Structure 1
Amino acid sequence: MIKLKDFFSFKQNRFFWLNIIGMVVVILAAIGGTLFWLDAYTHHGQSYLVPNVKHKSLEQAQLLLQNQNMQGVVVDSTYVKELSPGIILEQKPEGGMRVKEGRTIYLTINTREVPRVRIPDIIDNSSVRQAAAKLKAMKFKLTEPELIPGEQDWVYGIKYRGKSLKSGDKVPFEAVLTLCIGNTHLRDSLATDTLGLNLGQESEAQVDDSWF
């Protein structure tokens, strides 16, 4: 039976202990190699300052990011009337943060074209109050309404630059629209005028008949 003292004796178990030492060396070398690879792969300890590219043109932003070993990618666009088309509105990560080399910076730009918006279904389907509230919520501008004979304050049509529109037609964002709304006074006046015209025609016919 092997005594504990003999088991730990290097002389008597030289081959066993050489294997153990070899295994430890291999494990340590593997760990060291892995850490070295990770350090090189992730550029451990190296970071770059993200430049602030807000309100820069896309071309200027791309150049600034490339100088910092980063790349910019446009992921969204929106429309801000007061700002120049094509400039950067938002960036992620924000300017001033530190990131790894090669990091992608996601950009939102101000669209180069005025977006077009569909006319909602309000023609012959809404009162002037309902229609105006819906259109203003969509950022449309309204002129003084055009009054036409019909039910009081009922929306019979919409015009843009003098052209009649249909529900679903597209017009520029914040376009100036004119509502064509009904007015009972005009309707009644038209009916009276029409009736008067008919009576006048009948009177003329009677006068003509009296000559015979």
Structure 2
Amino acid sequence: MYNIGLGGLFIAIILTLSYFGLDAYTRHGDKIIVPAVIGSKPFEAEAKLSEMGLRMKIIDTVYLDKMKPGVIVEQLPLANEDVKSGRMLYVTVNATSRPRISMPKLTDCSFNLAKALLKNAGLILGKITFEYAEYANNLVIGQKVGGRSIEAGQKVLKGTTVDLIVVDTELSPSSDSTSNASEMTVPEEE
């Protein structure tokens, strides 16, 4: 009976210490409201967070043309969330220059597919030149950057304008036509 009483007392002491010790260990009641650092330069954000007892780590770099170069574009935890002091804030920073990407193969595919490939690659559709051919209407037969032909796989800056040469079976054989991409519509293929 004596051993059972000691065992019960031991368990009660452990539970009491755990209950009160857990609050101290997890810093219960200690909270900091996370500030908004999106749009700030990393060194500015790090100084601000350090003053508040928070830490920062850059986990990724992306390129967003609508944001200023070198600023924070995403943060976790989000602004206005409650966190403990010493918490790490994970941020994504906008790249300082446009990345180089591989030029997609636009030739021998439909005009609509070429537009989708350009958009997915982060490239801009420029002038469209139509050339007559007896068959293969709306087939892309050439791609140019800065007036020069460009092969698939060559490196270009994201956001580069790409001009296309497209087959039009309805033109007269002796005439070619050039159109600005913003002014033109091509019927959807069936």
* TM-score category of the 2 structures, normalised to the smaller one: 0.7 to 0.9
Deviation, structure 1 residue 57: 0.8
The number of equivalent residue pairs is: 172
SS of 2:127's equivalent in the other structure is coil
TM-score, normalization by structure 2? 0.73
Match of 2:80 in 1: 96
**Letter of the structure 1 residue corresponding to residue 117 of structure 2:** K
Aligned ranges 1:5-154 → 2 under 5 Å: 22-123=6-107, 125-136=108-119, 138-146=121-129, 153-154=138-139
Change (3 A) 1:143 1:25: closer
SS of 2:89's equivalent in the other structure is strand
Change (3 A) 1:20 1:134: closer
Match of 1:8 in 2: none
Root-mean-square deviation (Å): 3.0
- Structure 2 Cα separation of the partners of residues 27 and 132 of structure 1: 71
Structure whose residues are more often helix by fraction: 1
Change (3 A) 1:24 1:141: closer
Structure whose residues are more often strand by fraction: 2
- Structure 1 Cα separation of the partners of residues 95 and 7 of structure 2: 63
SS of 2:115's equivalent in the other structure is helix
Which of the pair has the greater relative contact order for Cα pairs under 8 Å at 6+ separation?
2
Deviation, structure 1 residue 82: 2.5
Instruction: Please list the CA deviations of residues 126-153 of structure 1 after superposition, one character each: whole Å capped at 9, or x if unmatched.
Output: 2444423432454422332346686665
- How many percent identity over aligned positions? 30
Match of 1:192 in 2: none
**Letter of the structure 1 residue corresponding to residue 144 of structure 2:** K
Change (3 A) 1:51 1:186: same
- Structure 1 Cα separation of the partners of residues 116 and 7 of structure 2: 79
Change (3 A) 1:127 1:188: farther
Point out the structure with max Rg over C-alpha: 1
Asked if the contact 1:141–1:177 (Cα under 8 Å) also holds between the matched residues in 2, the reply is: yes
TM-score, normalization by structure 1? 0.66
Instruction: Please list the CA deviations of residues 52-86 of structure 1 after superposition, one character each: whole Å capped at 9, or x if unmatched.
Output: 11111111111122222221222233322122112
Deviation, structure 1 residue 176: 0.8
Which ranges of structure 1 fall in alignment gaps of 5 or more residues?
Answer: 1-15, 190-212
